[in-house]
C-alpha cells in the first residue's frame, strides 16, 4: 500500500497526464486507478464544490467541448 507521500506523487502524475484528454477517457483512467473524480467547471461555468479535501478524488476543469484543461488532487 502506498504511503500518503507516495499516493500524492501518483495523483500528481495522474493529474498531469489527464490534461488534454476528453472527459470520458480521463474518467476511465481515474477510476481505473481506484480514484473518484468530480467536475469542478465546464467552460466558464463553475460547479458548486464542497471544501472536503478528499485524498482519493481528482477535480477536473473542462473546456466547453469536455476536454480536461486542469486536474487537481489533494
> What is the CATH number for 27?
3.30.10.10
pLDDT at residue number 40: 96
What pTM did the predictor assign? Answer: 0.84
Give the total number of structural domains in the chain: 1
Domain ranges, residue 30: 4-73
DSSP-assigned letter for residue 34: T
Q: Which residue has the cell 504511503?
A: 3
pLDDT at residue number 7: 58
3-state SS assignment for residue 43: coil
Per-residue pLDDT tens digits for 14-65: 999 999 999 999 999 999 999 999 999 999 999 998 888 788 899 999 999 9
Instruction: Tell me the CA distances in angstroms from 13 to 17, 18, 72, one per residue in order.
Output: 6, 9, 10
Amino acid at each position: 500500500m502506498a504511503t500518503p507521500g507516495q499516493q500524492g506523487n501518483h495523483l500528481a502524475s495522474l493529474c498531469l497526464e489527464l490534461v488534454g484528454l476528453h472527459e470520458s477517457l480521463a474518467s476511465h483512467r481515474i477510476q481505473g486507478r481506484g480514484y473518484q473524480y468530480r467536475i469542478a467547471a465546464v467552460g466558464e461555468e463553475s460547479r458548486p464544490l464542497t471544501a472536503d479535501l478528499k485524498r482519493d478524488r481528482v477535480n477536473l476543469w473542462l473546456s466547453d467541448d469536455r476536454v480536461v484543461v486542469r486536474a487537481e488532487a489533494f
